[in-house]
Amino acid sequence: MSKRRAEIIRKGQRLVDYYVHVNRTTHPATITLFDFSGRIIESPTRWLADKEYTYADGTRETFGRYVGYFLRWMRRKGALTRLTSDEVLRTCNRDHIKSWIEHSTKVTKLESSTVHQRESVLAKFIEWLEENHLRDESDTPYRSGKLITTEDHRQLPQGISAEKFKETLAGYYNESERCAMHTMYDTGLRISELCRMKNADLPDDACHDSASGFLPIRIRGSKGSGGKIVERFSIISLPVLARIRKYHSSDAAYGRVYPERHARENLTFLSATGKPLSRESVHKQLKRAARRAGIDPETIRTHTPRHSFSIEVLMAHDVHKEPGTRYAMLTNFLGHRDPKSTKVYSKVNPEVLESMRKELFSKYEVARTIAEETRLPPLKHREKRGHAQ
């Protein structure tokens, strides 16, 4: 399907469904929620604007989608059909939310953690309505202050073993994408951080001691308040750094866009066709690569390499010699504000743990092996974008 045709279909779908529009020409971005008739839904749009200095743009966009999911379900169910979307949000009750949760769990078959996250967002929005006197507090769905769903604390971080990651990389047809995904796995980057990464963020070998096999890498983080960029430092292994530089030196598309291939202001990664990466393109190509590799696409996400990085830092003997300080170090690497967010990585996926226990685990050696076994030389790329896969 051509890009033009796909865009026409998406625009047509917007005319009959709820959708979120993001205007990124402003900072923070202006986020607007529209109903199925193309009308602005005022209350959630105001709420998202009110939260712009608390949450990043991508997070607020997700919040808007979650409210849209609830409204879409209410409309399809036929509940409160004669009311506007804003009126539905001001009058929905606990039974409506219970039915939506049941449908999400039993019919749509979403993960319990996903359903819990969506309800949490809806509850925050309803609380905002009540605080701003846009909804009667006496008729709140959350009179007890408790959510209907519960958070699943037993869920393990979804990291994958190095062997499975190599299988996933083999599903990519282009070195540009293999290199980008390997960098996420090696450094703990979020997808948005990968997309904005520049060569100036990479370490200079001459300015650091590389005897350990790792160098500090600057990450322009995505979790600052109001979408602000907050810098932090993580580590990058020498094999992955060398892989990035080989990609810059040999990739034809990268050279067409950046004749001065190693200039500091260059984006570090481009697509196979020389375009800037986007969250959507990285996500789509990962799912395609997983299918080609014979891996269930539902078992791997763009956050999976970040989880794998965290587990490797905690388990590797060559990252830090004092285990008691590793959680604090990992918290800084990941850019977590709350150390409790990092503690979850003490519960390691059994498959990943077993692969690490076979021998003394070395993060450097894993990076070297992945780079050697998965790097595509120039002119070996096979994928033609815009054609059926």
Q: Which residue has the higher pLDDT, 214 or 7?
A: 214
Most confident range (mean pLDDT) of 71-85, 131-145, 151-165, 186-200 is 186-200
Burial class for 106, CB neighbours closer than 10 Å (0-12, 13-18, 19+): exposed
Tell me where in the chain the CATH 1.10.443.10 domain(s) lie: 162-374
Mean pLDDT of 222-245: 83
Rounded alpha-carbon distances, angstroms, from residue 71 to 66, 97, 180, 220: 9, 11, 37, 35
User: What residues contact 135, with CB distance under 8 A and at least 6 apart?
Assistant: 89, 90, 126, 129
User: What residues contact 80, with CB distance under 8 A and at least 6 apart?
Assistant: 74, 87, 88, 91, 92
**Which residues on neighbouring strands pair with residue 200, listed in sequence order?**
none
Mean pLDDT of 282-311: 91
Under CATH, to which class is 162-374 assigned?
mainly alpha
Q: Which residue has the higher pLDDT, 225 or 141?
A: 141
pLDDT, mean over the chain: 85
350 pLDDT band, cuts 50/70/90, is low
pTM of the model: 0.67
pLDDT in tens, 240-252: 999 999 999 999 9
Work out the percent of the chain whose per-residue pLDDT is above 90. Answer: 54
Judge contact between 272 and 380, C-beta under 8 A. no
Q: What is the pLDDT of residue 260?
A: 96
Query: Where does 196-338 show beta strands of DSSP type E?
Result: 214-221, 230-237
Judge contact between 165 and 185, C-beta under 8 A. yes
pLDDT at 2 exceeding the cut of 70: no
Q: How many other C-beta atoms can be found within 10 angstroms of the C-beta atom of residue 12?
A: 10
d(CA 288, CA 168): 10
pLDDT at 46 exceeding the cut of 60: yes
Q: What is the pLDDT of residue 113?
A: 84
pLDDT in tens, 65-85: 999 999 999 998 887 778 999
Query: Which residue in 176, 380, 375 sits closest to 273, CA to CA?
Result: 176
Q: What is the pLDDT of residue 218?
A: 94
SS (HEC) of 169-184: HHCCCCHHHHHHHHHH
d(CA 244, CA 213): 16
DSSP state for residue 267 in the 8-state scheme: B
Query: Which residue in 210, 170, 202, 163 sits closest to 183, CA to CA?
Result: 202
pLDDT at 93 exceeding the cut of 80: yes
Q: Which residue has the higher pLDDT, 241 or 337?
A: 241
pLDDT at 387 exceeding the cut of 50: no
180 pLDDT band, cuts 50/70/90, is very high
